[in-house]
């Protein structure tokens, strides 16, 4: 991979897993941050009208999960069989569904609709889905799949802190300790930790 670039807004968001995976793989990259004022002009030039983007070898790729899956395969974080890949995909897609509900609620422009969505999240959606997510992690030895480190863990851990305000659950770490522990497991990987420390300087 040459001339690698990650393009996203000036936030962790769905790009953070990509940044962490590249760091884990020892791949240098240019971290391009797009201001919200600049997004309307850039949007028509992107493959699907969304960020993040991964560019390398002169080609641009979109869709965060597709990018993470690719990097997972490249850096030895995928399954060893098709069936193992299926397990990684099913658990990651389930988490992505949970994540999307929080994102849609958080960014809802209509205040009255937002209030209804957030009430549903707190009273119905999260009480049903988050215990299932926690069960997945507990059954997999603290990981998202296969009882070991895979690219799915980067997807979860890279978004976790960013997602907490959207969740409307102030005691998320205490209520679901496996979530916090998985975030710590991935963020403390030597290469990821080095990347995070370089960001804070």
Task: Give pLDDT tens digits for 104-114.
Answer: 888 889 999 99
pLDDT of res. 51 = 97
Tokens of 1: 């991979």
pLDDT of res. 164 = 80
Q: How many residues does the chain have?
A: 201
Per-position b or e across 123-137, b if 16+ CB within 10 A of its CB: eebbeebbeebbebb
Find, among 94, 98, 74, the residue nearest to 86 by Cα: 94
pLDDT of res. 201 = 65
pLDDT of res. 103 = 86
Q: Which residues pair with 60 in a beta bridge?
A: 55
pLDDT of res. 195 = 96
Tell me where in the chain the CATH 1.20.1050.10 domain(s) lie.
Answer: 82-187
CATH architecture of 5-76+190-199: 3-Layer(aba) Sandwich (3.40)
Domain 82-187 falls under CATH 3.40.640.10:
no
Residues of the chain with pLDDT under 70: 201
- Residue 114: CB partners within 8 Å, gap ≥ 6? 105, 108
Question: Quick one: how far is CA 155 from the chain centroid?
Answer: 3
Cα 130 from Cα 46, distance rounded (Å)? 33
Q: pTM of the prediction?
A: 0.93
* Cα distances (Å, whole numbers) of residue 174 to 166, 178, 183: 17, 9, 14
Cα 164 from Cα 13, distance rounded (Å)? 11
CA angle 90, 59, 195 (to 5 degrees): 65
């Amino acid at each position: 991979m040459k001339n690698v670039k990650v393009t996203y807004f000036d936030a962790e968001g769905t790009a953070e897993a990509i940044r962490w995976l590249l760091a884990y793989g020892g791949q240098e990259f240019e971290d391009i941050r797009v201001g919200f004022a600049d997004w309307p002009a850039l949007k028509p030039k992107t493959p699907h009208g969304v960020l993040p983007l991964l560019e390398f070898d002169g080609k641009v790729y979109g869709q965060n999960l597709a990018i993470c899956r690719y990097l997972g395969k490249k850096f030895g974080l995928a399954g060893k069989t098709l069936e193992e890949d299926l397990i990684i995909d099913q658990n990651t897609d389930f988490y992505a569904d949970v994540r999307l509900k929080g994102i849609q609620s958080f960014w809802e422009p209509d205040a009255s609709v937002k209030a209804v969505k957030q009430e549903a999240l707190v009273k119905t959606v999260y009480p049903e889905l988050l215990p299932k997510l926690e069960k997945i992690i507990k059954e997999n030895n603290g990981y998202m799949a296969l009882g070991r480190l895979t690219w799915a863990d980067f997807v979860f851990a890279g978004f976790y802190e960013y997602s907490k305000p959207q969740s409307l659950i102030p005691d998320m770490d205490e209520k679901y300790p496996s979530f916090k522990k998985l975030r710590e497991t991935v963020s403390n990987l030597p290469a990821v930790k080095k990347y995070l420390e370089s960001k804070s300087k």
